[in-house]
Amino acid sequence: MNRRIHFVALAGLLLAVAIPSPGLADGGHQHFSAGQPGDPKKPFRVVEVTMHEGDGKMGYSPENLTVKRGEQIKFVISNGGELKHEFILASETDNLKHAELMKKYPEMEHDDPNGKSLEPKAKSEILWQFSKRGTFEYSCLIPGHREAGMTAKITVK
Ligand SMILES: [Cu+2]
């Protein structure tokens, strides 16, 4: 009996060590498709992003952004609408997968290095380093919002 309890405790410990915590944002364990969280000690460019809706459409301003590979951008994001919105920075592929998941869990809240949920009139910031060339995006994955136009393209040259 005693040995068995020890075995269960040991197995639990091994399992806890073997599974990396998704909450650790040290860049080594969390998967980000659009680059990596920025370093506030290094230079960055500020890009102001607003979220809005009206006339059956939803969107961001700006809708297009071009950055140089390695450049850091501080996104200063404001929700200028009457609804809750999100800013999720990733590849289109990852955002589409994430959007499918959000259809099942529409109440998902984001406060991640690459994504924020913003209540109406709320503001937030994301500092990001675009370390990879390619085409990425920020999008709102609340069901129906992306479809109504809430996606913006980022080109990393
Ligand atoms: Cu939205």
Distance 2 CA to ligand 1 centre (A): 55
Instruction: Determine the Cα–Cα distance for residues 121 and 20; give it in Å rounded to an integer.
Output: 35
Burial status of residue 44 (CB atoms within 10 A of its CB: 0-12, 13-18, 19 or more): middle
- Which pLDDT does position 25 carry in this prediction? 43
Mean of pLDDT values over 118-137: 98
Mean of pLDDT values over 27-32: 67
Distance 42 CA to ligand 1 centre (A): 31
Q: Among the listed ranges 3-7, 31-35, 136-140, which one has the minimum average pLDDT value?
A: 3-7
Structural domains of the chain ordered from first start? 32-156 (2.60.40.420)
Distance 78 CA to ligand 1 centre (A): 12
- Which pLDDT does position 39 carry in this prediction? 97
Reported as a pLDDT band with limits 50, 70 and 90, residue 21 is: very low
- Which pLDDT does position 12 carry in this prediction? 47
**Residue-wise pLDDT tens digits, 71-112:** 999 999 999 999 999 999 999 999 999 999 999 999 899 999
**In the chain, pLDDT over 90 holds for what percent of residues?**
77
Distance 132 CA to ligand 1 centre (A): 26
What pTM was computed for the model?
0.81
Distance 154 CA to ligand 1 centre (A): 18
